[in-house]
Structure 1
């Protein structure tokens, strides 16, 4: 079997073209991915469950005409299921329980020719903005190993940034595609609510906040994978009209002159780091140079009410997930089976009354109306993806006082104390101070992407978020293609991860 040292220089479509023209075989691509994982993953902890033998077996069955024929990819270990393999969700209880069937999205990824070589790290139940689960340990950012790739799709982002694979499955319930894409210098598209399937295990994920797609280096890989996966599955609660043409065809298509609003005023948090504001100013200048109409403006929303609504909805969902996890394991929920913050969040969800839950849903609907009216005046909104650059590992760790309070709350089973003590609000404030711009569009359903246009003087990537009208992924992908052409980023890799020789497996 041939060694393929050029593997990390190609995006997914580039690798598939080599397979179709028989310059390389699917098995050779799988072995190249495995070699990189074995050599580089020990320093990253991005891939937590290798699926090497499954990928090798699937390589022999690849249809050469599939859009991603033979292309290695990874799956985030949350929500989507792979038959016969655990979906751990970063939890010690679930890591040994195999699932019975492929989720519809995994089925479509496989149908597109992708070969799944592993599952990637995620915070427990995807609840944190960093990927440091107790069950699997922290994932490190390839751009700076002392920093986090963020979360909750941090394992996938680290794997793609380090060129272990060109494409990785990811989820986004508050920013979890866009946030790690920003921290790892990648392209991350959160699709509109209902664009990709969530069945058969789920109807709506996190009350409609969550969607699934991929993190990639190139725009065209994201677009082509969306072509392969978009569309209703049986019984889906939402649906969107089919696009006028293939999403892949939007990349490089004419954009026209767009009306673009820009803002670095936090939508949820309290302040913005100067480096993130600089990233926005840089993007605004680039967009104006490309001929677009750029104005400072932002949706008129009640950020505090939206943040409260989101916390209410997510805490209830976490309680449901805790109960479901315990049921899968054949037991009742118990604090020892979950991290302290996760279990306490579930207790808070259990203590949430029906009136509070419905009030939160109403707040979400008001925000959707407000944002919808905003997009009657503008084609796009541009913000920093995050309010802070990539953060050191441990930044979101509980203080000793918070940890002690959670132990008491969990022992008592008193979720209401989490809010009454102020601990919940302090933890949420740290989260929203970092993710000040992304969660709103999970609430309202708009598509949004993080585009890697800016790096700090210290070499850390900072993404810029672009948001479009509901259902307009096509408009985002058209602009992304032009930005990628104007400011190429696909060949910009973390130091030591692109050209470092990786020995072939023997």
Structure 2
């Protein structure tokens, strides 16, 4: 698919040199004149060509040249990829992982606000990445594209719903890529692929002009990165209020980019490794979290076992309804734009089941779901009066084999949602509450797969999480790890 340039020496920058850099490092090389943006792009294109056929992580052919961007921005000339969901590009078709968008996809005449900010930051968009249909999966194997594969083991899932972005970043094709998160869709693929995945506070990154909030406030936009400093620096560029927003958060006391450089004051950290759903947690995963807890204690933090009092039966009921309502409105809107009717020829089985479930919901049903969200948020707010951070696994297991989370399975909406949440129990809580959470690649399984560890804080605590993430990155560095599918080889 992308066989234009073989990996090896590229004038000005070798592919292995390119693939080893994070976005901040590449931007510094370009600014210093050590390499040109054109030379970086040639190395990036060779890297993409090397790994894309093995990962199936691109939703369309790469653009002939990087999309227009601000060359003088802080990330001027840094190669980038955009997930083919929510964040859309003027004049470029979007398919949302779905046949319902039609053979040519849906094309909008304008950038979303986030895409405009990516351009202003200087990010040079090369390609769109794969997503499961409507983002409703912790895996990326949509019928429209096929299986996106994990670069650490191509027989395993890259996660979802930002699996395509995570696979390309982990494999060295791009140093950073757009992602979004409605139940863990930034953090889960970050954990499965050995990356940094920050879910910001609700309202931190704008969804303008298309929406004031997405998934009834559960979903947010951002990115997956290889380093904490990249997540922090990029958040400075894309966060911020837009007129007409539903939420207006206070400005941070200092730039996010400064946070990973400092060690935070001693924090009160709660550790929890048992599934709130009662489902299995892999022993390697629990051991990785326990190891991080020991490291945090050694760094001077107060660490103890504790958990919010989460009523899982209520929590999952709210998610049945919130996700179904989202699917009903999303499928209806896409159908209106494409002219295609929802059905088994245009939607995968579990998405169709969710759409039909959502159409049957009443205003009272949704009111009850939002009341559960309120009670749960109040409990988490109470918990954070005692603890600054909740430390958990990112997902219950390392990346599962391909096919385990098949969205075209013959399951009703409740059975499918329950199956998802049994495997990724720890991330959805922070979508419901809107609080920030950060997945870090701090563990490795006995089979060599990455293990993500999640740090969650109270609303607007991204600065604290990034500072703690930077401290852990220094204490337990991961920069030298390389997956089997790696552009620099």
Does the aligned pair in 1 maintain the 2:98–2:144 contact within 8 Å?
A: yes
Query: What's the Cα RMSD here?
Result: 1.5
1:344 pairs with 353, 356, 376, which one? 353
Q: 1:398 to 1:333 in 2, by over 3 A?
A: closer
Q: For residue 184 of structure 1, what is the aligned residue in structure 2? A: 193
Q: For residue 46 of structure 1, what is the aligned residue in structure 2? A: 57
1:275 pairs with 284, 295, 298, which one? 284
Report SS of the residue matched to 2:51: helix
CA distance in 1, matches of 2:301, 2:328: 46
Aligned positions, number = 476
Q: For residue 449 of structure 2, what is the aligned residue in structure 1? A: 460
CA distance in 2, matches of 1:18, 1:323: 47
1:84 pairs with 80, 91, 103, which one? 91
C-alpha displacement at 1:193, in angstroms? 0.3
Report SS of the residue matched to 1:52: coil
Q: For residue 141 of structure 2, what is the aligned residue in structure 1? A: 132
Does the aligned pair in 2 maintain the 1:269–1:429 contact within 8 Å?
A: no
CA distance in 2, matches of 1:146, 1:9: 24
CA distance in 1, matches of 2:397, 2:127: 30
CA distance in 2, matches of 1:137, 1:220: 33
CA distance in 2, matches of 1:257, 1:498: 39
1:473 pairs with 459, 462, 473, which one? 462
C-alpha displacement at 1:334, in angstroms? 3.6
Q: For residue 63 of structure 1, what is the aligned residue in structure 2? A: 71
C-alpha displacement at 1:426, in angstroms? 2.6
TM-score computed with the length of structure 2 as normaliser: 0.95
Q: For residue 248 of structure 2, what is the aligned residue in structure 1? A: 239
Give ranges in structure 1 of 5+ residues lacking alignment. Answer: 407-422, 501-506
Q: For residue 420 of structure 2, what is the aligned residue in structure 1? A: 431
Structure 1, residues 104-133: CA drift from partner, whole Å, max 9, x if none? 001001100000101101100000111000
Structure 1, residues 392-427: CA drift from partner, whole Å, max 9, x if none? 00012379xx63xx6xxxxxxxxxxxxxxxx33332
In the alignment, does 2:7 pair up with 1:18? no
CA distance in 1, matches of 2:434, 2:134: 21
2:477 pairs with 485, 488, 499, which one? 488
C-alpha displacement at 1:349, in angstroms? 0.3
Structure 1, residues 416-440: CA drift from partner, whole Å, max 9, x if none? xxxxxxx333322221111110001
CA distance in 2, matches of 1:398, 1:98: 25
Does the aligned pair in 1 maintain the 2:353–2:413 contact within 8 Å?
A: no
Does the aligned pair in 2 maintain the 1:50–1:117 contact within 8 Å?
A: no
CA distance in 2, matches of 1:54, 1:83: 15
Does the aligned pair in 2 maintain the 1:157–1:215 contact within 8 Å?
A: yes
Q: For residue 5 of structure 2, what is the aligned residue in structure 1? A: none
1:74 pairs with 71, 77, 81, which one? 81
Q: For residue 316 of structure 1, what is the aligned residue in structure 2? A: 325
